[in-house]
Amino acid sequence: MQGSTARHRPRAADRGMSEHHQDLRHLRSEYKHAALDEHDVDRDPFRQFAHWFDAALAAKVPEPNAMTLATVDAGGRPAARIVLLKEVDARGFTFYTNYESRKGRELADNPQAALVFWWGELERQVRIEGVVSKVSAAESDAYYSSRPLGARLGAWVSAQSSVIPGREVLEKRLAEVTAHYADQDPQRPPFWGGYRLAPQAIEFWQGGVHRLHDRLLYTRLDHERWRLERLSP
């Protein structure tokens, strides 16, 4: 009897997890700040994005240019991480990274990718789907040159996504790179540069009462035209 009871008695760790999960089930916010109407938005999704981005800046959203980048490897396994938007125009959304990183390798195998912006203070989300390609070397050079010196040196230091035995490897490499460029301006590493996601679809999401959120989807028809539709939440 005692053995049976012991076998079925929840462990402390399990009880803690169960209580934690119970809390998660009730963890939610009621969205009520604004509504999103298709008659009020700009017909150009890039201009609409600019309006929302300016609003995020005005609301002092922390790092409003932080976005989740989702990629898929050759075997269909997805991965996601936060990167920073560094430019947006009619060509697309630009970010910079190590071309030999995991995301760089995955984009080489499959250039289809997605971005997500979340501006919680405004109860807004923007989802973007499209095809990624490298920006020109001149664009990458110009952006690299604009970075602080420490960031430029760091691009040389990190073999991004590779396994290392400890942080001392990075610190030793940084000391070597710093010494090497003591009397010269570091140039952009050939394995580091920019990507641009050319969107095929952009969705603007506004949190709504009773979870009846507003979702407006722009789908590209050709180089200049977009179709605007409302999606059910």
Q: Which residue numbers are catalytic?
A: 211
Nearest-angstrom CA–CA distance, 109 and 75? 10
Q: What tokens does 115 get? A: 């971005």
The C-alpha angle 194, 197, 200, rounded to 5 degrees, equals 170
Parallel, antiparallel, or unpaired for β 78-84 and 87-89? unpaired
Half-sphere exposure of 142 (CA within 13 A, CB side): 7
How far is CA 126 from each of CA 87, 121, 200, rounded to the nearest angstrom?
Answer: 16, 14, 13
Nearest-angstrom CA–CA distance, 100 and 41? 39
* Furthest C-alpha separation in the chain: 78
Check if the beta carbon of residue 126 is closer than 8 Å to that of residue 36: no
Three-class SS state of 153: helix
Nearest-angstrom CA–CA distance, 218 and 92? 14
